[in-house]
Amino acid sequence: MATKKPIEQVERVAIRFAGDSGDGMQLTGTKFTESTALAGNDLSTFPDFPAEIRAPAGSLAGVSGFQIHFASEDIRTPADSPDVLVALNPAALRANIGDLRPNGMLILNSDAFTTKNLGRAGYAEDPLPSLKDRFRVVEVPLTAVNREALKDLKLGTRETDRCKNFFALGLMFWLYNRPIEPTLRWLESKFRGDVLEANTRVVKAGMHFGETTELFPVSFSVPKAKIQPGTYRNITGNTALAWGILGAGIQLGRPAFLGAYPITPASEVLHELARYRHFGVKTLQVEDEMAAISVAIGAAFAGELAVCTTSGPGLILKQEALGLAVMTELPLVVVDVQRAGPSTGMPTKTEQADLLAALYGRNSDSPVPVLAPATPGECFTIMIEAFQLAVKHMTPVVVLSDGYIANSSEPWLIPDIESLPRGEVRHHAEGADFQPYARDPETLARPWAVPGTPGLEHRIGGLESEEGTGNVSYSPENHGRMVALRAEKVARVAHDIAPAEVNGSDRGELLVIGWGGTHGAITSAVNEARAVGKDVSSLHLRHLNPFPSNLGEVLGGFRQVLVAELNCGQLWRLLRAEYLVPAELLSKVEGQPFKVREIRARIDTMLAKGS
């Protein structure tokens, strides 16, 4: 659309959409993200919503937000502070205004600022006059202009008002010169009749409103990002996990088998996989978390690539069965999309506090490899790696994702299938003198002999097994040997994992270590500091058990070490215990990801102290 108003070019923008949980903020943010991806910007998103499906309208508890950061350069986080806040009601304003950067743009639905709504949000008086001194406030009578656009359609007021998020979306499309077509295509695929007409009309009306209203003197453009050439798509961590499970099935030549019980924020993986039966994948939604891992272990015993997906409370319920998979040495992948706890905690909020539970949360010495993806896109490849390790080493593997990467999205360079690692599921076939607990001399893995194979009939179970024969054994020496063998088998996984790679210099004053979804914030903070000459590097651990074999050496190259994680110091404790380094801890447990500036501040403090 040709625009008559001037267009101002900016390098990066962060916008937060905020409204009631029934206002469709997540959808609005997702559609804006899709258009932004197609516009060729690098981007990072952060959906932040309550667990309640529909909290009381207008209340602070019901505020749902979606932040998108997009740029013409490489970015890794959804930004510490939004430049623009779109607030659909006073509660959304109150819950989010503290984050808006000074002199940022505040776009409001002025129709929603009634005395009643102000009261629901806990405002004693209208906050707008005082805000006008600190922000560029744009008051859009959104409800009225949206109703006006739809007045000749036979929709009730409720249905009409429900479209106003798409009016706001259209306005933002205009303001940042985003393509409208992907959203129109999506509407056509999703709706019919008046609902299709209404939504299509208000997106366009929003754009026209931007062009004609005097509220916005200019619009903005963000040039395409100069990023690695190739074909990209937008992807969230949970979608990537599901596709990674399908990918593992293709790359290892055997469709996966998923046992699952619905739990926030992991359920989308089950939903997504259930749509792809033509890949041969079997998804079983069963009665509880224990059954979910049990059906998966049953399938693993029968020779399948078995997986289960859960979140913290579910991981704890699965621990007993996970111990059985350790004891019976069966391949299995358990994905924990971590959320804030303990107990039910804050189901839709992120945390990284299940690391010690994954490592040590079972009875007795029960080692398992633990992996953690750092970005939404990495959720895809990590599933293939997890399955490869599980079948090669005959061990359950835990993958720790988190609520942040599960729901946030990034442009993802679609991998070339040919470049993906391949593997083969090998079931034991030779029958003579079969020993279920004989071991591969290199990996110490036991043979995977599956029901249906003549001559290999054998029994396994949770009782301690005699080395070799697998017969039940109470021999003290045998138990000691088996405990050591299980530990050594997992330790040898280190031979198959990539060495730790430092971002920055291999030696120096300060190394910042993180794992999982904090990658973007840590890398951004370290790169910012390096750009102004600070002697700091970072290391992000994908493998948390075993650690990469060169980790001790890497740590030895730095005078100070900082571990930044969203828990009270779980990796920090492990590194101090394992390598005897006096590492410091930057801990955050607020259900929110790190802000870049929080890490940066600590880097500066430590460097000032060190010099």
Partner 1 sequence: MAIAPAALKSKDFVSNQDVRWCPGCGDYSILKNIQKVMPELGVPKENVVFVSGIGCSSRFPYYMNTYGFHTIHGRAPAFATGIKASHPDLSVWVVTGDGDGLSIGGNHLLHTIRRNLDLQLLLFNNRVYGLTKGQYSPTSRTGMHSKSSPQGSIDYPIDPISFALGAGATFVARTIDVDAPHLQEILHRAHQHPGTAFVEILQNCVVYNDNEWLEVEDRKTRVSAALALHNGEPLVFGPKEARRGIRIRDGVPSIVHLEPDENPESAGVAVHNEAHESPSYAFALATLARPDFPLPIGVFRAVEKPTYESMLQAQIDDALAARGPGDLAALLHSGDTWTVES
Q: Catalog residues that contact partner 1 under the rule CB under 8 A.
A: 34, 37-38, 40, 182, 224-225, 227-234, 243, 246-247, 250, 257, 259, 276-282, 284, 286-288, 290-291, 294-304, 306, 320-321, 324, 328, 414-415, 417, 451-463, 471-472
Q: Is the peptide bond before 447 cis (omega within 30 degrees of 0)?
A: no
Nearer to partner 1 by Cβ, of 247 and 341: the residue is 247
Instruction: Look up residue 103 and give its two tokens.
Output: 């002199």
Nearer to partner 1 by Cβ, of 225 and 564: the residue is 225
Asked if 594 contacts 588 with a C-beta cutoff of 8 angstroms, the reply is: yes
Q: How far is the CB of 438 from partner 1 (least distance, A)?
A: 17
Nearer to partner 1 by Cβ, of 230 and 556: the residue is 230
Nearer to partner 1 by Cβ, of 42 and 80: the residue is 42
Amino acid at 539: L
- Quote the CA–CA distance of 563 and 585 in Å, as a whole number: 5
Cα 532 from chain centre: 30
Rg (CA), the chain: 26
Q: How far is the CB of 205 from partner 1 (least distance, A)?
A: 23
Bridge-based pairing of strands 409-413 and 502-503 is unpaired
Nearer to partner 1 by Cβ, of 456 and 497: the residue is 456
Amino acid at 376: P
Nearer to partner 1 by Cβ, of 321 and 372: the residue is 321
What order do you get walking across the sheet with 396-402 strand by strand? Answer: 282-285, 256-260, 305-310, 332-338, 396-402, 370-371, 543-545
What is the DSSP track for 288-326? SHHHHHHHHHHHHHTT-EEEEEE-HHHHHHHHHHHHHHH
What is the DSSP track for 53-69? SSPSTT-GGGEEEEEEE
Q: State the virtual CA torsion across 591, 358, 520, 593 in degrees, nearest 10.
A: 0
Nearer to partner 1 by Cβ, of 136 and 459: the residue is 459
Q: How far is the CB of 100 from partner 1 (least distance, A)?
A: 30
Q: How far is the CB of 51 from partner 1 (least distance, A)?
A: 25
Asked if 105 contacts 136 with a C-beta cutoff of 8 angstroms, the reply is: yes
- Quote the CA–CA distance of 77 and 34 in Å, as a whole number: 17
Nearer to partner 1 by Cβ, of 446 and 534: the residue is 446
Asked if 572 contacts 561 with a C-beta cutoff of 8 angstroms, the reply is: no
Greatest C-alpha distance within the chain: 86
Nearer to partner 1 by Cβ, of 231 and 611: the residue is 231
Instruction: Look up residue 420 and give its two tokens.
Output: 């993906």
Nearer to partner 1 by Cβ, of 209 and 232: the residue is 232
Q: How far is the CB of 92 from partner 1 (least distance, A)?
A: 28
Q: Which residues of 188-224 are buried (b: 16+ CB within 10 A; e: fewer)?
A: eeeeeeebeebbbbbbbbbbebbbeeeebeebbbbee
- Quote the CA–CA distance of 292 and 213 in Å, as a whole number: 56
Asked if 593 contacts 374 with a C-beta cutoff of 8 angstroms, the reply is: no
Q: How far is the CB of 227 from partner 1 (least distance, A)?
A: 6
Q: How far is the CB of 458 from partner 1 (least distance, A)?
A: 7
Q: How far is the CB of 320 from partner 1 (least distance, A)?
A: 6
Residues for the chain: how many in total? 611
Q: How far is the CB of 297 from partner 1 (least distance, A)?
A: 6
Q: How far is the CB of 390 from partner 1 (least distance, A)?
A: 16
Nearer to partner 1 by Cβ, of 361 and 508: the residue is 361
- Quote the CA–CA distance of 173 and 145 in Å, as a whole number: 17
Q: How far is the CB of 23 from partner 1 (least distance, A)?
A: 24
Q: Is the peptide bond before 90 cis (omega within 30 degrees of 0)?
A: no
Backbone angles phi, psi at 346, to 5 degrees: -125, 90
What's the Cα-to-Cα distance from 192 to each of 30, 290, 326, 340, 574, rounded to whole Å? 21, 42, 52, 40, 56
Nearer to partner 1 by Cβ, of 48 and 304: the residue is 304
Nearer to partner 1 by Cβ, of 332 and 563: the residue is 332
Residue 156: Cβ-neighbour burial (10 angstroms; 0-12, 13-18, 19+): exposed
Q: How far is the CB of 130 from partner 1 (least distance, A)?
A: 42
Asked if 571 contacts 328 with a C-beta cutoff of 8 angstroms, the reply is: no
- Quote the CA–CA distance of 385 and 397 in Å, as a whole number: 10
Q: How far is the CB of 461 from partner 1 (least distance, A)?
A: 3
Nearer to partner 1 by Cβ, of 233 and 576: the residue is 233
Write down the residue that tokens 């997009």 correspond to: 70
- Quote the CA–CA distance of 434 and 459 in Å, as a whole number: 12
- Quote the CA–CA distance of 568 and 353 in Å, as a whole number: 8
Q: How far is the CB of 160 from partner 1 (least distance, A)?
A: 29
Q: How far is the CB of 300 from partner 1 (least distance, A)?
A: 8
What is the DSSP track for 187-208? HHHH--HHHHHHHHHHHHHHHH
Nearer to partner 1 by Cβ, of 38 and 196: the residue is 38
